[in-house]
Amino acid sequence: MPNNEFRIEIGREPSVQALDAAESMYSNNILLLIQKNSQNDDITENDLQPIGVLAKIILKLRLPNNNYKVKFKVTDRINVLNYESVNPYFVCNYEKCITLSSSPEREAILMKNVMESFSKNYNNFVSSADEILQTIRNGASADVLSDVIAFRLRGDVDKYKYLSELDVCNRLKYLLEDFELNKELTDLEDKINQEVKKSIDQSQKEYYLREKMKAIQNELGDKARQDEEVEEFRKKIEESQMPERTKEKARQELSRYASTSNQMAESGIMRTYIETLVNLPWGNQASVDNNDLKDVSMKLDSRHYGLEKVKERIVEYLAVKIMTNCNPHTILCFVGPPGVGKTSLGKSIADALGRKFIKQSLGGVRDEAEIRGHRRTYIGAMPGRIIKGMLEAKTVNPVFLLDEIDKMASDYRGDPAAAMLEVLDPEQNNNFSDNYLEEPYDLSQVMFITTANSLEDIPAPLRDRMEIIELSSYTEFEKFNIAYKHLLPRELTDHGLSDSQLKIEEEAMYEIIRNYTREAGVRELNRLIATICRKTVKDILINKTESTVITKENLANYLGKPRFFNNVSRPENQVGIVTGLAYTQFGGDTLDIEVTYYKGKGGLVLTGKLGDVMKESAQTALSYVKSHAAEYGIPMDRFNENDIHIHVPEGAVPKDGPSAGVTLTTAIVSALSGKPVDSHIGMTGEVTLRGQVLPIGGLREKSIAALRSGLKTILIPKDNERDLDDVPDEVKKLLKIIPVANVGEVLDYAIIK
Ligand code: ADP
């Protein structure tokens, strides 16, 4: 339409060339004509409407797709007279069309009607009214206004009729007609929308009412159910043996619960609380102990091989309990490496006495609330582990095993050890307070037993209240017997096998113990026996095997290649490498210490993750060697002109403790004097500056580990001679144990002259 500006994208090749020609030859003037059929791409002059417009190119932008975006300002209506050429673009002669008015009076009335109609409803008629309103305000003529409005008419309107009409009266009439049509369509649309909305409103209302009805029904049903439950709780509270004070609290809580709708969140919290109170064992809800000590002792014997001293201590402990008819005032604590039977002893004690057995692991507990529970004001509050255990026990006198008490940690959330103290202290534990419970709870009839891997890590005040019973590593012989007497029969039963269906030869069993496991206890051994059982069951079901015998030869078919090579050959004698004996919470172990030196300024380098005590031992050892250099044939300048490097391999394991003193000294002397060390000798002992060898701990564990790794002789501090009783006989038979009083003796034995 004339009197407008508009943008359009242009891509067809002839059109693009026409654009270029208009720019270069016709001062940006161009004719725009309408195709009769817009689907047709390949057009001739006959495909074009005769009336079009003359326009000026105002802006031409090239788009990434190579089309042009062009803005035109349309100035005139034109009528094409004839075409001069049609290739590559059309060139034609034209005349400008002059707008007329058939009747100025009619024009005025029509104009007034158009303005009225338009101003009432313009947003329905046109796409952007602002520019039109501006044109009206500027006092545009009927000619201009009709073009401006027609250009922007909404809907599916034939606009060519406006373009080709030269009488402005007709154009205004068309506008009024199109307005009317548009209004009818809009009304129709509104009506349809209204109807749709009405039907949606209706169904929404029904949905809402139905939901409401459901909620009411639920409420009525739940109330009946809740009433029933309240009655049941009331009965349980009255029958329960809880102290009168606690009972009163439970009653109060129950009446609050009864008057709270169970749609409310608090209702659930109250319910859980009341449930906890009535489910806890109270008063004399106790099991009756087996007081026949002989029977108890036999039961322990039948379940646990060896451990004579341990079992004896347990029986004594229980004897006191029977005599006094109350729990002894100390708590048993089994200390030892993993898999030596600490937990299972606890279970056996419970079984032998006929008490319930409860186990809670304290490993990693750092929050006091885990022991003592959370206050009920917290969302998801729960009682602590002790009360949870009692809920499980259902009797007031279970055997309660607190596992890994040495692995408790403390942080800003409080000190769990302090809470444990209250649990374990017989003076206090008849009034144990749990934050969740809010009422005191009597733990005095519970038999607490604790376990730990290392004694040092148990907080001192707790340790004071405990009777420590140490369990140590098993020797091969003990493991062998445990395997045949306990592990194998149990695994056979668990796998539904009879002892004629699976036999493990003794040689094979030793092979498993020596070359497939390296542990203080028997857990891995147990697992491997279970693996053999599993594979046997599979063979029986798939291959119809009648019976399986495991020999040393066919063992690898079941367990794969051996994982360790214990008791095989020791390395050759070397300079600067000495085997020490260590004692960790996982049992005894051997530890090679390496020393070397190189040009330097008399420095000392220590690597291998050593603790402070071990670093000091290294300093002391070096000072000792320096002061006795001459005796071992080490020239003094070897210290000054070199740096000495001490390395203890297996960097991931933190190592500490003074008992590596002799080993460090021997390694330094060997390295600096260039004399090799006997690789079949292991040693342990603290050394003073004067060279005196001081006693160490864990002799039994260390000697077992020494034998396990193929050492033939071990050097131990003279003062440890008294501990030789603890060393199992079969170890003493195979291992030469030499007590030494000072480092000089150690070097005499270890260094090869
Ligand atoms: P811990 O608590 O010391 O880590 P467990 O009590 O869990 O060890 O024992 C691991 C397994 O070894 C258990 O199946 C247990 O029955 C068995 N076991 C350990 N020592 C003996 C033993 N002396 N006699 C019989 N079975 C034992």
Distance in Å, CA 702 to ligand 1 centroid? 21
Distance in Å, CA 26 to ligand 1 centroid? 105
pLDDT band at 596 (very low <50, low <70, confident <90, very high): very high
pLDDT of residue 566: 55
586 ligand 1 Cβ < 6 A:
no
Residues 409-420 have pLDDT tens digits of 766 667 788 888
- Which segment of 199-203, 279-283, 315-319 scores lowest on mean pLDDT? 199-203
pLDDT of residue 326: 81
Residues 69-121 have pLDDT tens digits of 999 999 999 999 999 888 889 999 999 999 998 999 999 999 999 888 888 88
Give how far Cα 362 sits from Cα of 320, 404, 420, 452, 571, Å. 28, 6, 10, 10, 42
343 ligand 1 Cβ < 6 A:
yes
pLDDT band at 378 (very low <50, low <70, confident <90, very high): confident
Give how far Cα 662 sits from Cα of 373, 481, 482, 667, 724, Å. 50, 35, 36, 9, 19
- Which segment of 144-158, 386-400, 621-635 scores lowest on mean pLDDT? 144-158
For 59-86, the DSSP string reads: EEEE-TTS-EEEEEEEEEEEEEEEEEE-
Pairing verdict, β 466-470 and 357-361: unpaired
pLDDT of residue 28 exceeding 60, the answer is yes
Residues 346-365 have pLDDT tens digits of 999 999 999 999 999 988 88
pLDDT band at 245 (very low <50, low <70, confident <90, very high): very high
Residue with CA closest to ligand 1 atom 24: 304
pLDDT band at 544 (very low <50, low <70, confident <90, very high): confident
Give how far Cα 666 sits from Cα of 575, 628, 676, Å. 10, 12, 10
pLDDT of residue 412: 67
Query: From CA 697, how far away is CA 664, in angstroms rounded?
Result: 18
640 ligand 1 Cβ < 6 A:
no
> Would the pTM of this model clear 0.85, i.e. be above it?
no
Average pLDDT over residues 355-381: 87
Residue with CA closest to ligand 1 atom 26: 304
pLDDT band at 29 (very low <50, low <70, confident <90, very high): very high
pLDDT of residue 652 exceeding 60, the answer is no
Chain mean pLDDT for the chain? 89
Residue with CA closest to ligand 1 atom 21: 341
pLDDT of residue 203: 81
pLDDT of residue 654: 64
Give how far Cα 220 sits from Cα of 212, 227, 447, Å. 12, 11, 48
**223 is known as an active-site residue:** no
Which among 146, 267, 702, 709 is annotated as catalytic?
702
pLDDT of residue 670: 94
Residues 4-22 have pLDDT tens digits of 899 999 988 889 999 999 9
pLDDT band at 262 (very low <50, low <70, confident <90, very high): confident
Average pLDDT over residues 692-714: 89
Token look-up 């395997």 returns: 483
Token look-up 């050892």 returns: 621
Tokens of residue 703, six digits: 């000697």
pLDDT of residue 156: 80
Give how far Cα 586 sits from Cα of 472, 483, 583, 703, 724, Å. 10, 20, 8, 14, 21
Identify which of 134-138, 480-484, 658-662 has the greatest average pLDDT.
480-484
pLDDT of residue 653 exceeding 70, the answer is no
Average pLDDT over residues 721-728: 90
Residues 437-474 have pLDDT tens digits of 999 999 989 999 999 998 888 888 888 889 999 898 88
pLDDT of residue 490: 95
Contact assessment for residue 316 and residue 452, using Cβ atoms and an 8 Å cutoff: no
- Which segment of 196-205, 518-527, 626-635 scores lowest on mean pLDDT? 196-205
Q: Note the Cα 674 to chain centre separation in Å.
A: 53
What type of residue is 644?
I
pLDDT of residue 209: 85
pLDDT of residue 567 exceeding 60, the answer is no
Tell which atom from ligand 1 comes closest to the C-alpha of 307: 23
Task: Indicate left, alpha or beta for 373 from its phi (over 0: left) and psi (-120 to 50: alpha).
Answer: left
How many Cβ atoms sit within 10 Å of the Cβ of residue 601? 8
Percent of the chain with pLDDT over 90: 51
Query: From CA 462, how far away is CA 455, in angstroms rounded?
Result: 11
**659 is known as an active-site residue:** yes
Residue with CA closest to ligand 1 atom 5: 341
Query: From CA 112, how far away is CA 103, in angstroms rounded?
Result: 14
CB within 8 Å of 334: residues ≥ 6 apart: 310, 342, 345, 346, 449, 450, 451, 452, 469, 470, 471
Angle at 214 between CA 213 and CA 219, to 5 degrees: 100
